Structure 1
Amino acid sequence: MSKCKEGAMNAKQELVNKLQKDILLWQGFKPQGIGAVDAIGLGEIEKVFPNGVFPKKAIHEFISLLPEHSAASDGFIGGLLSILMKDGAACVWISTARKLFPVSLRLFNVDPERIIFIDVTREKDVLWVMEEALKCESLAAVVAELNDLSLIESRRLQLAVEESGVTGFVLRKDARKSTTNVATARWKITPVPSETEDGMPGVGYPRWNVELTKVRNGNPGSWVLEWGGDRFVEVTRVQQTNTWYNNEERQIG
């Protein structure tokens, strides 16, 4: 191969690499050096995202099949909000039939007074409010409960988060509708029985099976996480004969 041809191929590859990096930045994925400081506290889960960084300038979709799945998603998002809102920023939560009890968010160190709850009657109003709220750079996140999210609607939301840097969470309640959208990640959160300490009354910390069924430019997977009072705790489990055996717990974040 001539040096001229080899030089042209190297230049072309450099251009492709630069375009890939630019696209990841536009989608909210920061370089790894920044990510170490900007970690969200999800441990191994964060490694499946490009550059090992949880994408904040992105739309995250949560799929719920049953009411208990919706409650589990609310709790998991509460844990994420405790990190996203740690600098005093506010959050907007929009719904047509909200079931969340605001005070319950204190379990995840989230002050409910810093969340603006907006209850509307129509789904299209939820989408309009979410798009407008996502344009407000002073917010940490926007949460919207929806039955459906189309490709065009998701594109409008993604454009808004790319401009403002606000994280968007969509809780899709009607999972029977299979839709294509541009959400960066699709999550499925289901409850897992908690464990109590020996001799201690009451119930243990909330636990979830956290499944990432879609990760743009990343690797889907499934984990078990627990909310350890002030952060996520990763729990490694093995299922045998319908019984969960706790092999290891380790603090993350």
Structure 2
Amino acid sequence: MAMLATSSASSKDTVERLRKELRQWERPTSEVPQHDAISTGIAVLDDVLPDSGIGAGEIVEWQTERGGAWLLTMLQLRAVLTARSAGMAVVIDDAKTFSPVAAMLLGVDLDRLIIVRSKSANQAVWVMEQCLRCSGVVAVCGRLGAISETSARRLKLAARTGGGVGLFFRDESRNRQRTGSWSDIRWRVEPVAVSSNLNDFQNAVAGRRLRVELVSCRTGRAGKTVEIDICDETGLVREAPRVAPATGQESFPLSNRRRQTRSFQRTG
């Protein structure tokens, strides 16, 4: 079950409690793998990245104005936990909107999850930095607003020190302030309306289509955009068809799990 840390006590007491909980997972920094690529959890997105994934100690940012970033962040978190068999993940929930049940349904291992509910956005950034510095943490996930260049650099340094990855999503509809590109990898996510004459989903509620753009990455190879279909019933993902199905082509009923398995790739 996910562990929950609140901010009812002082910040010092909270940090000390987290350190005790994470101590059993700590390992020497020299043992942290620095070069093995970690999948995004979605094969078509791995193909876009130069190293077919993300590296240990890197910061990944998901931006959106109309939704979808949280879901992809959770799929990435699941992939990190799968790739790193030892260590805990920390979710910073300053808005108090994180649902452990929803994360579990997407395949996130709650036994390796610590949820921290901070009092403010500023405190959330401070907690992110402290957790990223801990070698027992494989991933830190949370919502980011506008932060200073100094705070951004401190987050990057903390991730390099601890060897875990920072997975942050930013809701641009709530924060219009322009921010610089400081993340190692930055994605932009937009929902895409599926025309009713396309046979991809018979039930619009059970599936969604997202357009994902690689805005920037450490090697400068950016600008590529892909569209993916996500089945909310099963958590399976596929690259969206580039053309409409031909007349008479077999439909894709979401209730038929065998057909889903052929049409979708698992995200893990």
TM normalised by structure 1 equals 0.69
How much does 1:43 deviate? 2.5
Which residue identity lines up with residue 105 of structure 2 in the other structure?
Answer: L
Q: Percent identity?
A: 24
Q: Name whichever of 78-87 and 122-131 sits farther off.
A: 78-87
Which residue identity lines up with residue 89 of structure 2 in the other structure?
Answer: C
Number of aligned residues = 208
Could you tell me which residue of structure 2 aligns to residue 3 of structure 1? Answer: none
How much does 1:54 deviate? 2.4
Could you tell me which residue of structure 1 aligns to residue 182 of structure 2? Answer: 182
Could you tell me which residue of structure 1 aligns to residue 3 of structure 2? Answer: none
Q: How does 1:102-141 map to 2 (within 5 A)?
A: 102-141=100-139
Could you tell me which residue of structure 2 aligns to residue 210 of structure 1? Answer: 212
1:74 and 2:52 equivalent? Answer: no
Q: Which has the larger radius of gyration?
A: 1
Gaps of 5+ in 2: 1-32, 245-250, 252-262
CA contact (8 A) 1:151 1:181 kept: no
Matched residues in 1 for 2:204 and 2:104: separation? 18
Report SS of the residue matched to 2:129.
helix
Matched residues in 2 for 1:202 and 1:61: separation? 28
Report SS of the residue matched to 1:52.
coil
1:85 and 2:90 equivalent? Answer: no
Could you tell me which residue of structure 2 aligns to residue 45 of structure 1? Answer: 45
TM normalised by structure 2 equals 0.65
Matched residues in 1 for 2:86 and 2:156: separation? 24
CA contact (8 A) 2:201 2:207 kept: no
CA contact (8 A) 2:211 2:228 kept: yes
The structure 2 residue matched to 1:144, chosen from 142, 145, 161, is 142
Report SS of the residue matched to 1:143.
strand
1:251 and 2:265 equivalent? Answer: yes
More helix by share: 1
Q: Note the alpha carbon deviations across 1:187-231, whole angstroms, 9 max, x for none.
A: 222334687766xx7943454222222222122221122346365
More strand by share: 1
The structure 1 residue matched to 2:167, chosen from 166, 169, 180, is 169
Give the 3 Å change call, closer, same or farther, for CA 53–171 of structure 1 in structure 2: closer
Give the 3 Å change call, closer, same or farther, for CA 212–160 of structure 1 in structure 2: same
CA contact (8 A) 1:82 1:110 kept: yes
The structure 1 residue matched to 2:222, chosen from 219, 222, 233, is 219
Could you tell me which residue of structure 2 aligns to residue 12 of structure 1? Answer: none
